[in-house]
Amino acid sequence: MHLLVGLGNPGAKHSRNRHNIGFMAVDEIVRRHSFGPWRKRFEGRCAEGNFDGEKILALKPDTFMNESGRAVGAAVRFYKLEPGDLTVIHDEIDLAPEKVRFKLGGGHAGHNGIRDIAAHIGADFARVRIGVGHPGLKDRVTGHVLDDFSKAELQWVAPLLAAIAEAAPRLAAGDGAGFSNRLAMILAPKEAEPPAQHPGGRDSG
């Protein structure tokens, strides 16, 4: 079984915050792959599905970002999972908007949700970091991540979330490189079509 966690803050007022893009990504995965209904469990909301026959539990903690580890830790202990059975999707201010990076283990880089999960289960879990950009000044970071995406930003958010959902089965397989490659292929602009040729395969002239 693989535990797929999206990070965010509960409540309608936070639903379009930059900090909630982890929730948005998991919502899209659940929708696209026809998971079961959301149910209250582990101090959060869970939905069950599968990728290629492997059971997947999607989890959105209801504990607010800073205490995300309570919900994640409860699910990990209940199913007797290892950190390697977990992927966390979250916002990342140190990445430019629209950029996505897969990371296995490591530090929390100041992200309070990641910090709290690591405190509960250790740091050796996979992360999908979705760039939301940095406001430029440290004292503006909190306001930046707790603000809603702008209308202009939403133009890239929707296709990016769709691409993450399509590539998500690679995450459950532990294939971070495959996930990254698949994501890049989906998002790459289509190459221009070659110029039309006359019959015989040669251009005139």
What does the block give as tokens for 168? 């998500």
Is 14 in contact with 8 (CB distance < 8 Å)?
A: yes
Buried b (16+ CB within 10 A) or exposed e, 67-100: bbbbbbbbbbeeeebebebbbbbbbbbebebbeb
Is 21 in contact with 91 (CB distance < 8 Å)?
A: yes
190 three-class SS: coil
Residues marked active site are found at 19
As a whole number of Å, the CA-based R_g of the chain is: 19
